[in-house]
Chains A and B, each alone.
Chain A
Amino acid sequence: MPSLKSLKTRIGSVKNTQKITKAMKMVAAAKLRRAQEAAEAARPYAERMASVLTSLSAKADRGASAPRLLVGTGKDDVHLVVVATSERGLCGGFNTNIVRGARAKIDSLIRQGKTVKILCVGKKGRAVLRRLYGDAVIDTIDLSHVRRLAFADAQPIAERVIAMFNAGEFDVAWLFFAKFQSALVQITTGQQLIPAPLAEADAAGAGGSVVEYEPSENAILETLLPRNIAVQMFRALLENAASEQGSRMTAMDNATRNAGDMINKLTLTYNRQRQAVITKELIEIISGAEAL
């Protein structure tokens, strides 16, 4: 049986832990609201970009002059997998789930005999991927200094990916992140980044009307495609930020509840022990008196 004193310190320390997890939960809830607003505010741009791109790529010619970002290199040998994770831990299964999703893809690519290169965004995914795939992890992009995610943070990542593509370092790019659904549910999503996946060109979007382009359609596509990649990247990072906070909030809520349960249990043991000590002392006094 642990002593009364040690039980008391134990209860104290669990109480402190509970205070911390409770505070973290509240901070995460406040951050979640902001991240969610940011993700929602970014939606119109991404949606309009997608609709413009769809109608444009449906009309663009697929000949030799078509932008490579749209049609790809014509090969399918080297894949780049961009894995976006968080910069901080203590957010439940958030990072594990993203890495698991990415791993499933990477493993299946490797089984098909493709070469895989991995680019980590956020340091939490790096450790695991490094251990599993070693030198396939080409670099990690550190976003820990970013307090409020801006488009300017996503752009350099996109530029880098495009530069690598233009240098012929890979043929197909994938992006893994957690799509935010609610504080409880985040969906690990893997999407193809390059070549641009084509949504079915709907006749309604094109409107059947003749659209004038200035400069030419292909020139517009050339400028639009890199921008689209930056936008996709930005959106993924925003979704990720919201998911991270949601996941952390849930995790910290659980932790607070667990700490509460533990305190109850420990308090019970403490009280029982205290009574046992009193009873023991009484017995000693009484039997001492009877012996006289």
Chain B
Amino acid sequence: MADKLHFELVSPERLLNSAEVEMVVVPGEDGDFGVLAGHAPFMSTIRAGVIGIHAGGGAAPQRVFINGGFAEVNDKGLTILAEQAIPVAEIDAEAVARELANAREDIKLAKNAAERDHAEKAAALLEAKLGAVRH
């Protein structure tokens, strides 16, 4: 068995997860990437999406939705800085769908570019969230 990867998931409010795992799959800005123990130093921004935490031993990966953030791999392990993280199992698909409908309405009702931009960002985020649940 190869070495374990030290993985930390941190949000501004608290340290959410700190564990030794086999592999973590991260949705990077330029495409998904997997991180195993001994990965070369690496930094990437993350798009809104699902990170898969493979604890090892062939167990099904733990899936956590994050709304974008930042990943750093160094010799100590992988650190993910995310603003919000929710385990996919805890997302209420219906509530998200409702919020998405609201956000789409906001885009139509937006009075100026800034407002529309804001609403579009919110909608994109909710779409990614919904995609995570339906996946």
Residues of B within 8 A of A42 (CB): 12-14
Docked Cα-Cα span, A252 to B30, in Å, equals 55
Offer 14 A-B interface pairs, CB within 8 angstroms, sorted by A.
A41-B14, A42-B12, A42-B14, A44-B15, A45-B81, A52-B43, A52-B70, A56-B43, A209-B74, A213-B43, A214-B43, A215-B30, A215-B44, A223-B70
Which residues of A lie under 8 Å from residue B74 when comparing CB positions? 207, 209, 211
Instruction: Give Cα distance in the complex from A151 to B28, angstroms.
Output: 23
Residues 250-278 of A, flagged 1 when their CB comes within 8 A of B and 0 if not, give: 00000000000000000000000000000
Whether B40 sits at the interface, judged by CB under 8 Å, is: yes
B105 CB–A CB distance under 8 Å: no
Interface check A150, CB cutoff 8 A? yes
Q: When the two chains form their complex, are residues B10 and A213 in contact, meaning their CB atoms are under 8 A apart?
A: no
User: Does any Cβ of B come within 8 Å of A123's Cβ?
Assistant: no
Q: Is the CB–CB distance between B43 and A234 below 8 Å? A: no
A209 touches B14 (CB 8 A): no
Query: Which residues of A lie under 8 Å from residue B40 when comparing CB positions?
Result: 212
C-alpha gap A121/B102 in the complex (Å): 30
Supply 13 further A-B pairs (C-beta < 8 A) apart from A42-B13, A215-B44.
A42-B14, A44-B8, A44-B14, A46-B12, A48-B10, A48-B72, A52-B81, A209-B41, A210-B41, A211-B42, A212-B40, A224-B70, A231-B12
Q: Check: A31 CB closer than 8 A to any chain B CB.
A: no
* Cβ B41 vs Cβ A212 within 8 A: yes
CA distance A1 to B81 in the complex (A): 70
Structural contact, B75 and A207, CB atoms closer than 8 A: yes
Q: Name the distance in Å between A9's Cβ and chain B's nearest Cβ.
A: 49
Question: Contacts of A207 on B, CB cut-off 8 Å?
Answer: 41, 74-75
Closest CB of chain A to B38's CB: distance in Å?
13
Residues of B within 8 Å of A224, CB to CB, are: 45, 70
Most chain A CB inside 10 Å of its own CB: which residue of B8, B13, B15, B28: B13
Give chain B interface residues in 29-87, CB to chain A under 8 Å. 29-30, 40-45, 70, 72, 74-75, 79, 81, 83-84
Chain B residues, Cβ within 8 Å of A219: 45
A151 in complex: contacting residue of B8, B11, B29, B72, CB < 8 Å: B11
Q: Chain A: interface secondary structure?
A: helix
Most chain B Cβ neighbours within 10 Å, of A44, A150, A215, A227: A44
In the complex, which residues of chain A have a beta carbon less than 8 angstroms from the beta carbon of B70? Answer: 52, 220, 223-224, 227
Measured CA separation A213–B8 after assembly (Å): 19
A29-58 residues at the B interface, CB under 8 angstroms: 38, 41-42, 44-46, 48-49, 52, 56
In the bound assembly, the distance between CA atoms of A207 and B72 in angstroms comes to 13
Which residues of the partner chain A approach B84 to less than 8 Å between Cβ atoms? Answer: 151
Q: What separation, in Å, do the CA atoms of A219 and B44 have in the docked complex?
A: 10
Q: Closest CB-CB distance, A135 to chain B, in whole Å?
A: 26
**Smallest Cβ-Cβ distance to B18: which chain A residue:** A44
Q: CB distance A151 to B13 under 8 Å?
A: yes
Cβ distance A235 to chain B, nearest Cβ, rounded Å:
8
- List chain A residues, Cβ under 8 A from B28: 214
Q: How far is the CB of B123 from chain A (nearest CB, A)?
A: 17
- Give every chain B residue within 8 A of A38 (Cβ-Cβ): 13
User: What 1/0 flags go to B84-101 for Cβ under 8 Å of A?
Assistant: 100000000000000000
* Residue of B15, B42, B44, B83 touching A41 (CB-CB under 8 A): B15
Q: A42-B12, A214-B44, A224-B70 are in contact. Are A209 and B75 (CB under 8 A)?
A: yes
Set of chain B residues within 8 Å of A209, measured between Cβ atoms: 41, 74-75
With a cutoff of 8 Å between Cβ atoms, the chain A residues found around residue B79 in the complex are 48
CB atoms of A214 and B42 under 8 A apart = yes
Residue pair B13, A44 in contact (C-beta under 8 Å): no
B45 pairs with A223, CB closer than 8 A: yes
* Nearest B residue (CB) for A151: B12
Question: Assuming the A-B contacts A151-B83, A209-B75, A223-B70, are A214 and B41 also in contact, with contact meaning beta carbons closer than 8 angstroms in the complex?
Answer: no
- Which chain A residue lies CB-closest to B80? A48
A47 nearest CB neighbor, chain B only? B10
How many angstroms from the CA of A224 to the CA of B46 in the assembled complex? 11
